[in-house]
Structure 1
Amino acid sequence: MNFDFNALPLQPVTYAATLGPTVVIAPHPDDESLGCGGLLALLARAQVPVWCVLMSDGTMSHPNSARFPAPARQALRETELRLALAELGLNPANLLTLRLPDSQVPGPDAPAGAAAVARLVEFFQEKQPATVLCPWRRDPHPDHRASSQLVRAALAQMLPSPRLVEYLVWAWERAAPADLPQPGEVSGWQLNISSVLAEKQRAIAAHASQLPGSCIDDDPAGFTLAPTMLEHFENPIEVYLEATA
């Protein structure tokens, strides 16, 4: 039986601030806006400190573009991310870029992954977040899964460990039954983001290179978010999962 996200308790706007100082993990620029843009905007409204960690370099969305070679794609996407954070009311300077290879984010057992874990531990110790927002551990994109593994490895080295809250991006469209939460694995909650849905939509729009009509128009096989995918993120409800004790 599929996990019933709609059965999760609905939290009011004021619940967002209870997360306290928060770090959001974005495997790619746009995941932060798609998966938890409403929550981030509510944190900003409540004047709760928020930092963003961008895991990958974001260059594989249009790998065959000549007008936008890899360094230009990376710069463009990081600029779009900063614009999106500003649209959410956050400080665009509160950004750590790890620049791991897009579509090949390593796990914690690889040398590059171990180095990323060490940098995450350092960053978490410096910022002392109460909560870390991270993609759902089995979100279908491999970079999302690897990012979850890296974050979990970093949090395992911290006592006390920040609260880990998981958000969904690709699971809405592409999850196999085994990708979804299993009985007893997680609890969770829904959050009413209707009051900041406009901010979330502006943040998604800031990632213009990933949307239909992308400025990177010389790679016919390049990636853009499908309208059906974008429709899901017009919902005034966001869903969050947390491991059961």
Structure 2
Amino acid sequence: MTEPFVSSQLLFESLPLYPPDAVRTFGPTVVVAPHPDDESLGCGGLLTLLRQVGLPAWCVLVSDGTMSHPHSQKFPPAARRALREQELCEALGLLGLSDQALHTLGLPDGSVPGPDTPLGAAAAAHLQEFFTTTQPQTVLVPWRRDPHPDHRATSQLVRAALAGLPTAPRLLEYVVWAWERASPADLPQPAEAHGFRLDIRSVLPQKQQAIAAHRSQLAGGPIDDDPAGFTLAAGMLAHFDRPVEVFFQAKS
């Protein structure tokens, strides 16, 4: 398990560093998050920088987030969904976004469908309508081979939605689980994408506060009756305590 982590870290740390002002070129931006917390982990600094320079930003939540603690009786599925969306709204507020900036698709957590299924095709059409309404200049989505099936399906849904637009926005891919779970084959290859690191040092406190708002995903959180439930390990969280965020853009 150590080798993929090291190769990921070495790759990411070798990327060129862009200054915070680089976000001015992004224009209006939509971050597509498979689960509540992916937006803060992968793009929290970017979102804060965008709002600081007055650029509009939105967050699309793809899944309902209910599978983090599937055996909880205190928080049945509807309550888990409501709790996680509440945490997400708090996190977005800390990053400078309003509640109106959140758009939810409500797909099943743990089994987000691809665009080749009826449910996935409907979700892609919904995304396309949202992009048509908001007219983003940049869309952020998990890295296409980020090692989580919901992240990969989210990438496919977004690409299907963008393919139907007359003019596609810039597509940037962020990493979450690739920090420590990626095999060498999962990582971006030189021929397919070029990457960069964004300097978020000035807004790292806001990012950390937003991550902390997802209390149900942290040790000691409110869902305490499912011992096998998911929580973000300290080692995983350490990747997002860095003063940079990593992004990739496909080569044309």
TM-score, with normalisation over the residues of structure 2? 0.96
Cα-Cα RMSD: 1.0
Residue in 1 that maps onto 2:36: 29
How far, CA to CA, are the matches of 1:70 and 1:242 in structure 2?
Answer: 36
Which structure 2 segments of 5+ residues have no match?
Answer: none
Aligned amino acid, residue 206 of structure 2: E
1:97 aligns with 2:136: no
How far, CA to CA, are the matches of 2:115 and 2:66 in structure 1?
Answer: 21
Give 1:91 shift.
Answer: 1.4
The equivalent position to 2:53 in structure 1, one of 25, 46, 62, is 46
How far, CA to CA, are the matches of 1:189 and 1:178 in structure 2?
Answer: 19
How far, CA to CA, are the matches of 1:8 and 1:234 in structure 2?
Answer: 18
Cα deviation 1:124-175 (Å, max 9, x = unaligned):
0000000001000000010000000000000011121000000000000100
1:172 aligns with 2:172: no
Residue in 1 that maps onto 2:212: 205
Residue in 2 that maps onto 1:77: 84
1:131 aligns with 2:135: no
How far, CA to CA, are the matches of 2:14 and 2:184 in structure 1?
Answer: 17
The equivalent position to 1:188 in structure 2, one of 190, 195, 208, is 195
Which structure 1 segments of 5+ residues have no match?
Answer: none
Relative to its length, the structure with more helix (as a share) is 2
How far, CA to CA, are the matches of 1:121 and 1:21 in structure 2?
Answer: 16
Please give the secondary structure, in 2, of the residue aligned with 1:25.
Answer: strand
Cα deviation 1:57-86 (Å, max 9, x = unaligned):
000000000000000000000000000000
1:62 aligns with 2:69: yes
The equivalent position to 1:151 in structure 2, one of 158, 161, 175, is 158
Please give the secondary structure, in 2, of the residue aligned with 1:132.
Answer: strand
- 212-221 or 88-97: which moved more? 88-97
Runs ≥4 residues deviating over 3 A: none
Aligned amino acid, residue 179 of structure 1: D
How far, CA to CA, are the matches of 2:82 and 2:14 in structure 1?
Answer: 41
How far, CA to CA, are the matches of 1:88 and 1:105 in structure 2?
Answer: 26
Give 1:112 shift.
Answer: 0.4
Please give the secondary structure, in 1, of the residue aligned with 2:100.
Answer: coil
